[in-house]
Each structure stands twice: as structure tokens, then as C-alpha cells.
Amino acid sequence: MADPIISVKHIVKIYKMGDVEVHALRGINLDIKQGEFSAIMGASGSGKSTFMNIIGCLDTPSSGEYLLDGVEVAKLNRDELAKLRNRKLGFVFQAFNLLPRTTALENVELPLLYSNNHSSSQRREKAMAALEAVGLADRSGHYSNQLSGGQQQRVAIARSLVNDPVVILADEPTGNLDTRTSVEVIEIFQKLNEKGITVVLVTHEPDIAQFSTRNIVFRDGKVSKIIEVENRKIAAEELPKIPLPMDELES
């Protein structure tokens, strides 16, 4: 548990917009240990999304070092980054980002199509197992537009974990969901985290951050403070306290 799964040293990211240089990240040093549930917080423009893109291997830093599960990422080319995303990372987005006109099962199978080492029956099996883990096995044949927001996000989580990643990165996963559904989704993340998967979550909402073990606060492209969460909330315990939408309407 002691080895950092993500180790970032002096990460700087500069975007060039014409003649203007935008310093999105100004030297980040951060270690995230295996099995941690970190929440990255910060105002808009604080650099947290840029940071997520870099640790998500979607982007490379302008300078600095990044070790993901022992792999030096900063020097990799596009194809090698793609391979790393496929093998070691799972993504969950605010907008769910499921393929339209595609069934839940096919959406979950997607990363396996690109990993190239599964037969079609193995793919199906693994995708079904992932859907079961998020409680949607009975919706495998539904098209993404036939699912509710919460269900779509759970399909997206199933997709992120189907390749047995070492880290799941969630960028505002509850941003488009109501309170109750948000907690339901967080409950899934906590369950996965219990099984040993490292979770890194970006969120605006302090409430949601309370479900993590550690809050990392970004400001002006730097880590301004790191707070170890005391009295961490457990989603399974919180759920019964939140009224069902129907109750809210009736009371």
C-alpha cells in the first residue's frame, strides 16, 4: 500500500495561445498511493482539469516527471499513451460519454475491443461482470439513450473498470446528477475502492469530497493544500437519510 501508484514531480504545463503563454500548471508535486480515494478540488481555472488530463495520459506535461504504476509517461508518444490509457486507466466523465445508439453491453466492451487480447465471448463475459458490479446486469441490452442519467453514469463506470485498471479517474462524475443519484454513484466508487482500485475524483462539491479519504485543493496551477478527511462519509450509510425523489414531491 505504501508505493505511490501515481507520482508526479515538478509538473509544468504551458499552453500557447498565439503569442500568449498560459501557465496552466506551475510545478505540481504529488504522490497518490495505491488504494487511495482522492478528491481533487479547486475553482475553475485552477488547473485541476489539466492535471487530470495529464495523469489520465490524454496529454503530456511541458516539463516534469510522471510515473504511473512504474512507467515514465512524460516521454511517451501518442500510441504508447493510448496503450497506457487502455491497460492501466479507467475514465468516468461528467457528461457520461457513452456511444450513442449503442447498447450498454457494447459500450462496456469498448476498451476490450482496443486491448486486443480477448475473444468475443471473453469480452462479453467481462463486460457482463462489470455491469453486474454496478448493478445494471439487467440493462445490458438497453441503448444508452434508453437509460437514465444515473444509469448512464453507472454504465460509464462499468466501462472504466472492465479492463481491470489500476486507477479510475472521474472528472466531475456527479456534476450532471441529482443528490441521491450522486450518492449512489459515489457508493459504487467506494465499493470499487474497497476492492483496492485507486480512485481519483475531481469535484466542485465539498459534500462529495467528504466521501474521499483525502482532499487535494488546487489553486492557480499549484497544489495549495492537502486535507486528510476526518469523519469520512460512507455512501451506503448516507443513502437511507436522503429522501427518495417521490417522497420529496409528496411532502
Partner 1 sequence: MNVLNVLRVSYRSLGRNKLRSFLTMLGIIIGVAAVIAMLAIGQGASNAVKEQIAGLGTNVVIVFPFASTQGNVRFQAGETSRLTESDAVAIAAQCPAVKYVTPVVRVVTQIIAGTQNWRTSIMGVYPDFEQIRNWPVKSGDYFTSTDERTAAKVCVLGQTVADNLFGPGSIPLGATVQIRNLPFRVVGVLASKGQSSMGQDNDDIVIAPFSTVQQKLAGTIYANMLFASAISSPAVNTAVEEITQFLRIKHNLRSWEANDFTVRTQTEIASTADATTQTMTLLLASVAAISLVVGGIGIMNIMLVSVTERTREIGIRMAVGARGGDVLTQFLIEAVTLSLAGGLIGVILGVLTSRFVSSIQKWPVVISPESVGLAFFFAAIIGIFFGWYPARKAANLNPIEALRYE
CA 201 centroid distance within chain: 6
Nearest approach, Cβ of 64 to partner 1 (angstroms)?
Answer: 18
DSSP code string of 152-194: HHHHHHHHHHTT--SEEEEESTTTTS-HHHHHHHHHHHHHHHH
Query: Are 168 and 192 a contacting pair, CB within 8 Å?
Result: yes
CA gap 211, 208 in Å, rounded = 6
- Residues in the site for partner 1, rule: CB under 8 A? 53, 56, 58-59, 78-79, 82-83, 85-87, 91, 93, 97-102, 106, 110-111, 113-116, 159, 163
Would you say 115 or 224 has its CB closer to partner 1? 115
Q: Which is nearer to partner 1, 91 or 218 (CB)?
A: 91
Please report how close the Cβ of residue 155 comes to partner 1 at its closest, in angstroms.
12
CB of 59 to partner 1, least distance (A): 6
DSSP count for the chain of H helices, then E strands:
9, 10
Q: Which one, 33 or 87, has the nearer CB to partner 1?
A: 87
Cα-Cα-Cα-Cα dihedral sign, residues 50, 53, 58, 64: positive
Count of CB atoms within 10 A of residue 135's CB? 15
Of 149 and 206, CB closest to partner 1: 149
Rounded to a whole number of angstroms, the minimum distance from the CB of residue 112 to partner 1 is: 9
Min CB(53)–partner 1 separation in Å: 5
Single-letter amino acid code for the residue at 50: T
Using CB atoms within 10 Å of the CB of residue 225, give its burial: 0 to 12 exposed, 13 to 18 middle, 19+ buried: exposed
CB of 42 to partner 1, least distance (A): 18
Select 62 or 93, whichever has its Cβ closest to partner 1. Answer: 93
Question: What is the DSSP annotation of 10-70?
Answer: EEEEEEEETTEEEEEEEEEEEEEETT-EEEEEE-TTSSHHHHHHHHTTSS--SEEEEEETT
Beta carbon nearer to partner 1, 96 or 189: 96
